[in-house]
Amino acid sequence: MDHLQLGAYTFSSRLILGTGKFSSAPVMLEAVKASGAQLVTVALRRFNREQLEDDLFGPLSEIPGITLMPNTSGASTAAEAIKAAHISRELSGSPFIKVEIHPNPQHLMPDPIETMEAARILASEGFLVMPYISPDPVLAKRLEDVGCASVMPLGSAIGSGQGLASAAMLSIIIRESSIPVIVDAGLRAPSEAARAMEMGCSAVLVNSAIAASDNPSEMAAAFRDATEAGRHGFKAGLMAESTEAVATSPLTSFLGEQS
């Protein structure tokens, strides 16, 4: 069987769902079910007695086969992310932690230096560290070296819907990485998830594209199918592209000459 392997955990689904930005908790829960996702992200928030439906732990835990991956959103330094990870582990009992550190709340670009530091410490503490990063191939290898369970480069800026704007860098990361590469952020259309999977990504993480759709459940199903289709395409092996036209004067006519 073809499974996504993260630490000692195996998942048959290669679509990871983010649970933010939905119109309501019930809508989100329906989308999670329709997506077939087995790994979903959640964020730590202060309890609010006026908004009791904020608490997703109970309802998500009732969906069979779901593992929670808390994120560290809101953290702008390694120290804050580490603290959030410790609290999240208390709450979820899950070793997964999506390390997400953005010092600037406007564009939400991940800080590579703080991320590296947090990942190194959390991995040594036994977390399955899933760092959200800019598509930087060297950073991806450095994170692999310190024991991350995967790397999660962005396809394009978070919530931008610009798809795989970073495809060229992503393909280098995929080629060089020995751990799963998961495209996180920026995907807008299911076809982009399929393309990411065809390129050889191990999984995709989708949130905004589903949450912001007119019909989140149907969009979740579309991403489920697209992710699977792309995976099949990758495994089967894409036919080679014919890139350059054949030169008019042959390039290989020297072969077989005597001297």
Partner 1 sequence: MTLLPDWLTEQSISRELEAMLRNRSPESLETMAARSRAMTLRRFGRTMTLYAPLYLSNYCSSGCAYCGFASDRTTPRRKLDEEEIRREIAAMKQLGIQDILLLTGERTATVGFEYLRRAVEIAAESMQRVTVEAFPMSVEEYRELADCGCTGITIYQETYDSMQYEALHRWGPKKDYLYRLETPERALEGGIKTIGLGVLFGLSDPVTDALMLYRHARHLEKKYWRGGISISFPRIRPQTGGYEPAFEVDDHLLARIILAFRITMPDVELVLSTREKPSFRDGMAGLAITRMSIASRTTVGGYLEGESPDEGQFEISDSRTTEEFCQALRNRRIEPIFKNWEPAYNGPSHQTRPCS
Partner 2 sequence: MRLKNRPKEIVQKPLKMITIQLNGEPETLPETSALSDLLAHIGSDGKTVATLVNEQVVRPPQRAVHILMEGDRVEILVFAGGG
The residue (of 89 and 231) whose beta carbon lies closer to partner 2 is 89
Q: What is the spatial distance between Cα 256 and Cα 258, in angstroms, rounded to a whole number?
A: 6
Letter for the amino acid at 178?
S
Burial of 82 (0-12, 13-18, 19+ CB in 10 A): buried
Residues 93 to 152 in contact with partner 2, rule: CB under 8 A: none
In the block, which residue shows the tokens 């390129």? 199
The residue (of 91 and 113) whose beta carbon lies closer to partner 2 is 91
54 binds, among partner 1, partner 2, none (CB under 5 to 8 A by kind): partner 2
Residues 214 to 243 in contact with partner 1, rule: CB under 8 A: 237, 240, 242-243
**3-state class (DSSP) for residue 133:** strand
Selected binder of partner 2 within 9, 30, 76, 86 (CB under 8 A)? 86
64 binds, among partner 2, partner 1, none (CB under 5 to 8 A by kind): none
Q: DSSP label at 239?
A: P
57 binds, among partner 2, partner 1, none (CB under 5 to 8 A by kind): partner 2
Q: What is the spatial distance between Cα 119 and Cα 42, in angstroms, rounded to a whole number?
A: 18
Residue 257 CB, nearest distance to partner 1 (Å)?
4
In the residue annotation, 98 being an active-site residue is answered as yes
- 257 contributes a contact to partner 2 by CB under 8 A: no
242 binds, among partner 2, partner 1, none (CB under 5 to 8 A by kind): partner 1
Q: What is the spatial distance between Cα 209 and Cα 212, in angstroms, rounded to a whole number?
A: 6
- Per the DSSP assignment, residues forming a β-bridge with 68 are 40
Structure-token pair, residue 41: 């992200």
* CA dihedral of 196, 5, 28, 218, whole degrees rounded to 10: 50
The residue (of 24 and 259) whose beta carbon lies closer to partner 1 is 259
Residues 190 to 209 in contact with partner 2, rule: CB under 8 A: 205, 207-208
- 27 contributes a contact to partner 1 by CB under 8 A: no
